[in-house]
Structure formats: structure tokens, C-alpha cells
Amino acid sequence: MTRLTLTIIACCVLAVPASADIIQRKDSSSFTYLYEMDGNPSASDLDSNSTGDFFAGAAGGLIIPQTYSGGVASSNQGAATPENLFRTDFGGSITRSTLSSDTPYTLEWSVRKTGGTQGADGWFGVAAQNPSNGYSARVNLEDDRVSYRDNGTNADFLVGTDFADGAFHDVRLAKEDGDSFFVWVDGILLNDDLSSGFTGGNGSFNSGGAWFLGDFSGGIGGDWDIDYIRFEPGVAAAPTVPEPSTFVLGIAALLGVVGFTRVRKNKAE
């Protein structure tokens, strides 16, 4: 008679290495400030300081998107005043009322490209600077990659992402204490790990502190929809979806190292 014995050796589950402030995972639906695009976020005052959280008017020939349907905000580059930018560069805005010079934060947005031709810097960008800081972070979404600004030039962060697929993609930017930033796309960490982030190499673009989301540069082109913008001040948080390396480790811990031992018994004579 032959018996097949399955041996499973359990492995310990390894935690994602954490740096100074990324000490927790948090789903963006539980963030403090949620702009779900059921209406223009310039009319929202979620911090209750009697000032709209986002800039409402036109400036520099640009204006916040004016079309909101089904919980989605749509840009319109072809409008008489292009509707293609969310901005907070004014007194009382959500960024200036909740952030100091080095406050950590987590910003997440869900966006899809809907048409048009991207520019040299892609089809959607985010530039973020804390009040009174001398540097900022800039992340560009291009049709086939994510890049970030490093000392005046764009450095590839991830090549091969298909942002021209018509689907929404969730992008998260987390800032730690100091000049250190992390980016996730659809729950996937783009940094090598959580031990160090990329530096805010964009320099100062707004010393008062502001976010620009959308088209704020001549190098950005194309139209897009935004499903939400979510913001959590005071903490740099990873998504609740595990990075691939963590997922693989979890599977390994469950399945272990599988060995097959064949035990053969002699038949009784």
C-alpha cells in the first residue's frame, strides 16, 4: 500500500517595513475630508471655517470643473475658460487651514482619462506644497507611466501602467515628516519599499501652501473625470490593499513550503 503525505511548514507573516510616519493602513473612505464629487467642492466647508475648501473662481485662464454628474466631476479643456484644475491656493482653503509647514498628510484621488492628447508632462498632474515650505511634490500621470519631478526634470516612477484604458485609477500621495513622499496606484506601492520616500524635488511653487490637481502646466493636456478627492491630515497612511510583495508573503505564510514524502510499506507476506 502507498501513502502520500503532505507536509506544510508554516512561515511567519512579515510586516511591511514602516518608516517614521507610515505606521498604519487606512482606507480612504474613512478619511476626515471626503469630496465625492456629488457637487462642486468649492461649495464645501468640511473644516467649518466659513470658507470654501477649494478655489471657486477663474484664475490664470483656468477654472475648477463645472460639470458634476453621477458623483463624477468632468474637465473640459475646450470650454471658453478651460475647466481643468482643482486648487487650494487661497486663505482659508482646506490645505492652509489644516496643514503647517511640515504636517504629514495623505491625499488620494480617483481619476480616469477621457480623451485628448497628453502633453510632455502627461494628462493629469498633482503639485502639493505645505505652507511656508521651500519644496513641493509633483506627480504626473502619463498614458503609460507615472513620473515625479526631481530637481526640475521628470523621473520615471513606474513605466507600463495603462492610464489610457478608460478605467478609474486610485492614486495616493502620502507625505511624511520631512521631505519624503510615497505614491500608490490602485493599492500598489511605487516606491521600492516603505523605508524611504522620494524627495520633494519640485521646489517651491506656492509658499503659502497649496494643492494643484489637474492641468496646471503647459506640459499637461487631455480631459479626465474625477470620482473623488480624499484627504487625511496629520498622518501618512498606506492603503488597506497590500502591496504585491506583502501579498506574496502572506500566501507563502499560509501555504508554506510544500514537500511530498512518499512512504511505502511492504505488503505483508
| Reported confidence tier of residue 34, pLDDT bands at 50, 70, 90 | very high
Taking Cα atoms as reference points, which of 191, 211, 194 lies closest to residue 202? 211
Q: What global pTM score does this model have?
A: 0.84
pLDDT tens string 97-133? 999 999 999 999 999 999 999 999 999 999 999 999 9
- Give the three cell numbers for residue 226: 474625477
The dihedral built from the CA positions of residue 249, 19, 159 and 71, taken in this order, carries a sign that is positive
Quote the CA–CA distance of 143 and 121 in Å, as a whole number: 10
| Reported confidence tier of residue 238, pLDDT bands at 50, 70, 90 | very high
Using the structure block, give the residue that is written with the C-alpha cell 484627504: 231
Residue with more model confidence, 245 or 217: 217
| Residues in Cβ contact with 86 at an 8 Å cutoff, skipping those fewer than 6 apart | 41, 54, 55, 64, 65, 211, 212, 213, 214, 226, 229
5 within 8 A of 260, measured Cβ to Cβ: yes
CATH number of the 17-241 domain: 2.60.120.200
- Give the three cell numbers for residue 41: 467642492
